[in-house]
Amino acid sequence: MSKQLPLVAMDACCSPLAREPLTADQAAELSKLFKAMSDPVRLRLLSLIASHAGGEACVCDLTDAFDLTGPTISHHLKVLRESGLITGERRGTWVYYRVHPEVLARLSAVLVPGGAEALA
């Protein structure tokens, strides 16, 4: 549980969608992030974690918010983790997740012209 840092969105980051055509590689990288967020459950998970007090939430909190089994939630968390959007850390019995705000920020910047400057 240590190699899922923001490997993505580092080079495919800073050129807004509308400034010049994405290369195939950039598009492939970005699409992974969007795909991770293309599921309603994962979006709510992301939002639950991001908006939770202290910036982190334990899996137990998350599971209760859905009519889904534990394994399904765990699967979605894994997708978010492997996309670099969140990280999970085990502390004792529970596992706590927190978001990587930089990744969200970069993604946000890609969508709007001049969005890259907002990161500086």
Position 22 contacts a second copy (CB under 8 A):
yes
Given 14, 27, 68, 116, the residue binding a second copy (CB under 8 A): 27
Which amino acid is present at 6?
A: P
Residues 2, 76, 93, 97, CA torsion sign:
positive
Q: CB nearer to a second copy: give 13 or 107.
A: 107
Sheet strands side by side (includes 86-91)? 56-58, 94-99, 86-91
Position 46 contacts DNA (CB under 7 A):
no
Position 116 contacts a second copy (CB under 8 A):
no
Position 93 contacts DNA (CB under 7 A):
yes
